[in-house]
């Protein structure tokens, strides 16, 4: 949790909305307790023009606001280690990532990593498109996310991250022509697992990594390719496990059958562990929320957002040291 003396400064951005007939993915997130901390906030509301340039429109401090008019600026932030964050399908999951970023980077008395957030809660997802209309919808999503990336670059960000399982499926397209470090969540996970020097549980086989997701294809893709590139064997739930255990677990959770959801998810994880899987990646916000934190099965699971946060903090601290030396 944040301590009471923490002061947070953030920028809320209002960028061009997604256009087209796109369905919204329903946010399925854990009901989290209200953090018991006092946070002083100073935020700048900014808007972009049709070229993606931005101008300051309002200054908010506490409960009062004053209209400010100014010329377009070249950048909002000047720190060498500013992190640009493209928010994902779930706004709450973006906030959870920010909680990790803020708390982990400042828990030893150090300054919090500076960041600017561009939230994008309206994405069409669940699978790769098949029909031409879906392909056009995917193109619109990619263009919109690319505009967000360009906005963050102009705002002064020195690296880009997307704390979203689905958005990272289009990482290559979104990062095209980007001159900044743009961390892929799958790379972060694969790198940490490689550094862990895991041993195969079955003699003569590769190290196996399981992946569970509520989106059968699109949310798995960012991890499957990156893990295979590092020499891991990726194990996914079979059709029966997915249809009769995993998805019913999500349905039970949505219907507030907490114990039923937990029992079903435990079975889904055990099914993969029986197949000699070393670690199970929970590539879904809702799956991350089902089991209580003290559940022993979570020791066999990995939250990809943890790996992304650790990678981001490591980069930010390194960039800060380089700036000091120069």
Share of the chain above pLDDT 70, in %: 70
Evaluate whether 83-121+134-184+306-325 and 188-303 have a shared fold. Answer: yes
* Best CA proximity match to 220, nearest among 322, 137, 125, 113: 125
Identify the three-state secondary structure at position 10.
strand
Q: CA-CA distance, 118 to 85, in Å (whole number)?
A: 6
How does pLDDT run across 44-87, given as a tens digit for each residue?
334 444 444 544 433 333 333 333 333 334 556 678 999 999 99
Distance, CA of 175 to CA of 163 (rounded, Å): 14
Rounded-to-integer distance, Cα 147 and Cα 52, Å: 7
Chosen CATH of 83-121+134-184+306-325 out of 3.40.50.1860, 2.40.50.100, 1.20.1050.10, 3.20.20.140: 3.40.50.1860
Predicted confidence (pLDDT) per residue in 286-309, tens digit: 999 999 999 999 999 999 999 999
In angstroms, rounded to a whole number, what is the distance separating the alpha carbons of residues 109 and 95?
Answer: 21
Domain boundaries, the chain: 83-121+134-184+306-325, 188-303
Question: Mean pLDDT over residues 168-179, rounded?
Answer: 94
Task: Kindly tell me if the per-residue pLDDT of 4 is higher than 90.
Answer: no
Residue with the larger pLDDT of the pair 320 and 200: 200
Minimum mean pLDDT among 26-35, 137-146, 235-244: which range?
26-35
- Which pLDDT value is given to residue 134? 56
What's the chain's Rg over C-alpha atoms? Answer: 20
This model's pTM is above 0.85: no
What is the fold, at CATH topology level, of the domain defined by 188-303? Rossmann fold (3.40.50)
Number of C-beta neighbours around residue 124 at 10 A: 21
Between 95-104, 215-224, 249-258, the lowest mean confidence (pLDDT) is in: 215-224
**Confidence band of 120 (pLDDT split at 50, 70, 90):** low
Give me the count of residues in the chain: 326
State the Cα–Cα distance between residues 301 and 144, nearest whole angstrom: 33
């Amino acid at each position: 949790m944040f301590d009471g003396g923490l002061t947070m400064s953030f920028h809320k951005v209002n960028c061009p909305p997604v256009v087209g007939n796109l369905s919204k993915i329903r946010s399925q997130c854990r009901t989290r307790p209200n953090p018991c901390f006092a946070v002083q906030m100073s935020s700048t509301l900014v808007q972009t023009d049709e070229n993606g340039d931005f101008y300051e429109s309002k200054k908010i401090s506490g409960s009062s606001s004053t209209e400010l008019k100014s010329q377009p600026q070249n950048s909002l932030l000047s720190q060498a280690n500013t992190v640009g964050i493209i928010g994902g399908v779930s706004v709450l999951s973006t906030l959870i990532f920010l909680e990790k970023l803020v708390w982990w980077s400042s828990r030893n008395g150090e300054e919090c990593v500076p960041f600017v957030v561009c939230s994008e809660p309206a994405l069409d997802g669940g699978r790769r498109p098949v029909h031409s209309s879906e392909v056009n919808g995917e193109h619109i999503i990619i263009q919109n996310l690319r505009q967000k990336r360009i906005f963050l670059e102009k705002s002064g960000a020195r690296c880009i991250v997307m704390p979203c399982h689905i958005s990272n499926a289009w990482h290559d397209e979104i990062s095209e022509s980007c001159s900044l470090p743009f961390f892929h969540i799958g790379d972060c996970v694969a790198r940490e697992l490689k550094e862990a020097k895991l041993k195969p549980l079955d003699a003569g086989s590769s190290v196996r990594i399981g992946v569970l997701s509520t989106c059968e294809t699109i949310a798995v893709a960012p991890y499957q390719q990156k893990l295979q590139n590092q020499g891991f064997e990726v194990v996914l739930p079979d059709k029966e496990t997915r249809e009769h255990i995993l998805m019913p677990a999500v349905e039970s959770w949505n219907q507030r059958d907490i114990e039923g959801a937990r029992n079903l998810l435990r079975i889904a994880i055990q099914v993969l562990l029986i197949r000699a899987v070393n670690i199970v990646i929970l590539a879904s916000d809702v799956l991350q929320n089902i089991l209580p934190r003290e559940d022993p099965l979570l020791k066999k699971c990995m939250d990809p957002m943890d790996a992304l946060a650790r990678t981001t903090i490591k980069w930010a601290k390194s960039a800060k040291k380089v700036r000091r030396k120069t």
